[in-house]
Amino acid sequence: MPHVVIVGTQWGDEGKGKIVDVLSRHVAAVVRFQGGNNAGHTLVVDGKKLVLHLLPSGVLRDDCLCVIGNGVVVDPDVLLQEMDRLAATGLTLTPDRLRISQLAHVIMPYHLQLDRLREAALGKARIGTTCRGIGPTYEDKVARRGVRMADLVDPRRLAAAVERVLTEKNGAIAALGGEPLEAGKLVEAYAALGQRLAPFVGDTATELHRIHRGGHSILFEGAQGTFLDVDHGTYPFVTSSSTVAGGACAGAGVGPTILDEVVGIAKAYTTRVGSGTFPTEAQGEEEERLRATGGEFGATTGRPRRCGWFDAPLVRHAARLNGLTRLALTKLDVLSGLDEVPVCVAYEGVEADSFPADLTGVTPVFETMPGWAEDLTACRRLSELPGNALRYVQRVEELVGVPIELVSVGPGREDTILHGDLFTR
């Protein structure tokens, strides 16, 4: 299997975790390359549900190395809690199964405070952040005042890094009505976390190149979705990192020439968490039905997701931005039972090969397709889908312009139609 990047093509929550889990049996390593514990990747294996926030979704494969790349921002307390929860189920991660880049930046307590306080101060204009400290940590990274994993595992370097910035951070916290932090207690607590994580921290870029030279495959796991990208998303209601496929190189420490395939993950409908424009958002009973049937509540925050219909111009633009070679369509089963299924095929007055800088006020042009009543969860081939469900898949493929080679028809690993050489090899 080649080196593959997995990206979301909408506003996140597309089902990337399941697809990474399905493909991880073919690869030697799975790498998270951006974001932090604002991500929530859900795996369902043998009827058991596992939600991951920082650990890569290859964690259930014994022979798969999981790598947290330099582009990720790491909350060490959250990561250790996640590792401890896995250990309680009998899956203890060792340094030969999990590696953390020494260059990854650390989410510190002042980042968490500032995130919450700033969001509260915005009131009705709030972004809808998860308040996990992601944005403030990336701010410090770009401003060249961040704390990296290499600092966290060295108490003297950690103390120096905190001393450099804490006066300024405490001033900002106090100005927003928060409680300033004490340097000594902060360094003591985080040095202890660093010592627990130290065996896992190292030069992950070199390890990935070693895997590449050995002829083994790597899967690059993106978090969030294309339209939460800080450059290409629906700004300012975006995340603070590059969620598109190009971010895999910078966030993992590999060159673009080693990448072979980019697989986009799209829901058969559309969801969004938090604020921001959403042209195909459903209303009333339609939205409630999608939310209830699809279990559309945030894996990280528990917040109800906003739900709407498939937006072909959105996903088509994601295909361009990411250079998609394949598409995986998830949650097709959620649409079963609808008499009709609307699909946005265009934006009124917008050319098919262009995309607006701002989706506010955009009017979607809908095409209505006939629905189907049958349960899809037993389908394992495209030919087993009801006629209208198959036609829906084919129409989405036609509108996006990328071959659909995986269709998810349920939450479990086995509830998957694999079609095409990438997924069946």
Could you give the residue numbers annotated as active site? 13, 41
- What are residue 420's phi and psi, to 5 degrees? 110, 155
Total Cβ atoms within 10 A of residue 329: 26
Write the DSSP symbol of residue 124.
G
Closest CA to 333 of 417, 264, 394, 396: 417
Give dist(CA 301, CA 293) in Å, integer: 19
CB 328 within 8 A of CB 408: yes
Give the max Cα distance, the chain: 66
Number of Cβ within a 10 Å radius of residue 167: 10
Task: Report the C-alpha gap between 225 and 25 in whole angstroms.
Answer: 24
Are the C-beta atoms of residues 341 and 309 closer than 8 Å to each other?
Answer: yes
Q: What is the amino acid identity at position 9?
A: T
The total number of residues written for the chain in this structure: 425
CA distances from 124 to 11, 209, 274, 281, 282 (A): 21, 47, 12, 20, 22
Q: What are phi and psi of 295, to 5 degrees?
A: 60, 45
What six digits make up the tokens of 57? Answer: 């979704």
Token reading at 140:
């410090």
